[in-house]
Chain A
Amino acid sequence: MSAPLKFSGPAVVVRNLRRSYGKRIVIDSLNLRIERGEFVALLGESGCGKTTLLRALSGLDPIDGGSIDGPRLPAIVFQEPRLLPWETLSRNVALGLAPGPKSHAAAQAALAEVGLGERLEDWPRNLSGGQAQRVALARALVQEPQLLLLDEPFAALDALTRIKMQRLVKHLIERHQPGVLLVTHDVDEAIALADRALIMRGGAIAAEYRVTEAAGPALRETLLAQLGVDADTATH
């Protein structure tokens, strides 16, 4: 099965991306292509440039070389929900939309999709961590994004909530079909969610693996090894 049959065109194409802070080059000659409907996980040790890449893709930071062909404003879900505490949930979700009755209806639908349809007029302070992150997800999906960036969105959640969130995200993404780039530290999360796993090292993509049912356990060991975790110590 080759990818182009399943997907309907690229969500983003990155060519020879370079990004440096002063003399320190953080991203160097990075190439990346994500198709619409494709779920890509980006793994790497701390400081390998994952966050820098995400910020460049989101348009928050300028780039020093190369090109990014993609939406000017991809949707993004951060590690923290970043809800405006002074606005109701429906207004939070509709924040990026042009105001009007249409955007309210869209926000309502998006909140219903993440299971919070009854709490349109509630305040963020009344939400648990997992619920707040679901609102952040609704705020991203309501934009019908071509590209969705997920910056360790499950890292701050407890184990059970994380599993529920991962299932919800997988379900919603299958439905909305954006191209997804998930930055994570969690190899199991990458295997559970992604079509493709990338290892980033030294500011470039060092390795790439297709995630399939069959590849499961062996892929896990490979990915861990790529991240510097020895197979023997990892299992003990």
Chain B
Amino acid sequence: MADVFARGASVLHSQLDPDARPAVAQKPNHAGPVSPWLRYVSWSMPVLLLIVWELFARLGALSPNVLPAPSKVALTAFELVKEGRLIGDMAVSLLRAATGFVIGGSIGFVLGTAVGFSKVAEAFLDRNIQMLRAIPFLAVLPLVIVWFGVGEAGKIFLVSLGVMFPIYINTVLGIRQVDPKLIELGRVLGLSNWTLIRRIVLPGALPSVLAGVRYALATAWLALVVAETIATSTGIGFLAMDAREFLRTDVIVMTIVIYAAIGVLADQLARFLERRLLSWHVNFAKVSR
């Protein structure tokens, strides 16, 4: 969370202060320029790890009950797809994550916008929200099961809860940090409140909001893994729990890999959004990250 704060703040700061521009543009890559050789090494190490893992499994040094060979995991995935199970379960999981993200994200954004703009809304809402935020959202899991049982609603609720707070905090922060000089300019030009919000405040808050989105995607995914593992009858988590009954470590490892892969894809999606929506921004302009 602190990391999100720091990032949002630094992005905004550089945007507000024109003098900071050259400094930001020339911000040194802390690792220094990476030589092609080291780059090659850094990419080949994971491949090496996979090869060693495969070798150990084949030689019997790793029992299949502990960790099956990567090739076995891939084969299992292929068979499950052929049986017509895997794709459906993945779709169910993704739909849960997306629904929860949209609901929680919208609530967080609307509340954040209200509190960011209005001292009155802040007085009414902020302390309660901060109190709820102090609860680790996974701690409410038993309560969620009591409320919603093992149906879809509970999982979507948990994802929404995990997504809401990072988006809320970053939206408030983003709106608060919009350059007051630009808002003054809008007033001098006679812009209506709505135009002021649409053309100055929200775009100014966008870098921070998107940082929140990126963090929230990770939280959403974590919430889903936990919810699906505890109580479910469909989805990736169900596959894993079902496999546990039969000690099918290959299926379990496969689900873990799928969770990881989708997590990485979600992060890429968020970065893509940042590059598209913040193409005006010095920090996002030509840097591919």
Give which listed residue, B21, B184, B200, contacts A84 with CB less than 8 A. B200
Return the chain B residue nearest A88 by Cβ.
B280
B280 & A96 in contact (Cβ 8 Å cutoff) = no
Over the window 277-289 of chain B, the binary record of Cβ atoms lying under 8 Å from chain A Cβ atoms (1 yes, 0 no) is 0101110010000
Q: Which residues of A contact B204 (CB under 8 A)?
A: 86
Return the chain B residue nearest A58 by Cβ.
B188
Give which listed residue, A73, A84, A125, contacts B203 with CB less than 8 A. A84
Per the bound structure, the CA–CA distance linking A158 and B281 in Å amounts to: 25
Which of A25-33, A75-83, A159-167, A172-180 touches B?
A75-83
B188 & A86 in contact (Cβ 8 Å cutoff) = no
With known contacts A73-B189, A76-B188, A125-B280, A84–B182 Cβ distance under 8 A: yes
B190 & A86 in contact (Cβ 8 Å cutoff) = no
CB distance from B115 to the nearest CB of A (A): 23
Per the bound structure, the CA–CA distance linking A15 and B21 in Å amounts to: 44
A86 & B203 in contact (Cβ 8 Å cutoff) = yes
Return the chain B residue nearest A85 by Cβ.
B280
B276 contacts the other chain (Cβ, under 8 Å)? no
Over the window 179-200 of chain B, the binary record of Cβ atoms lying under 8 Å from chain A Cβ atoms (1 yes, 0 no) is 0011011111111000000011
Over the window 60-104 of chain A, the binary record of Cβ atoms lying under 8 Å from chain B Cβ atoms (1 yes, 0 no) is 100000000000110010101010111100000001100000000
B188 & A60 in contact (Cβ 8 Å cutoff) = yes
Q: Which residues of B contact A84 (CB under 8 A)?
A: 182, 199-200, 203
B15 contacts the other chain (Cβ, under 8 Å)? yes
Q: How many residues belonging to A are interface residues under a CB distance threshold of 8 Å?
A: 20
Return the chain B residue nearest A149 by Cβ.
B188
B181 & A82 in contact (Cβ 8 Å cutoff) = yes
Per the bound structure, the CA–CA distance linking A49 and B190 in Å amounts to: 24
Q: Which residues of B contact A86 (CB under 8 A)?
A: 203-204, 206, 278, 280-281
B142 contacts the other chain (Cβ, under 8 Å)? no
Per the bound structure, the CA–CA distance linking A78 and B179 in Å amounts to: 14
Q: Which residues of A contact B181 (CB under 8 A)?
A: 78, 80, 82
Over the window 88-103 of chain B, the binary record of Cβ atoms lying under 8 Å from chain A Cβ atoms (1 yes, 0 no) is 0000000000000000
B18 contacts the other chain (Cβ, under 8 Å)? yes
Q: Which residues of B contact A124 (CB under 8 A)?
A: 280
Give the most central of A58, A86, A96, A124: most B CB within 10 Å: A86
CB distance from A153 to the nearest CB of B (A): 13
Return the chain A residue nearest B190 by Cβ.
A73
Per the bound structure, the CA–CA distance linking A73 and B200 in Å amounts to: 19
A7 contacts the other chain (Cβ, under 8 Å)? no
Interface hits, B231-289 → A, CB 8 Å = 278, 280-282, 285
Return the chain A residue nearest B200 by Cβ.
A84
CB within 8 Å of A: which residues of B? 15, 18, 21, 181-182, 184-191, 199-200, 203-204, 206, 278, 280-282, 285
Query: Which 7 pairs from chain A and chain B are nearest by CB?
Result: A96-B189, A86-B203, A86-B280, A73-B190, A82-B185, A123-B280, A125-B282
CB within 8 Å of B: which residues of A? 58-60, 72-73, 76, 78, 80, 82, 84-87, 95-96, 123-125, 139, 143
17 contacts between A and B (CB under 8 A): A58-B188, A59-B188, A73-B188, A76-B188, A80-B18, A82-B182, A82-B185, A84-B203, A85-B281, A86-B204, A86-B278, A87-B203, A87-B280, A95-B199, A96-B190, A125-B282, A139-B189
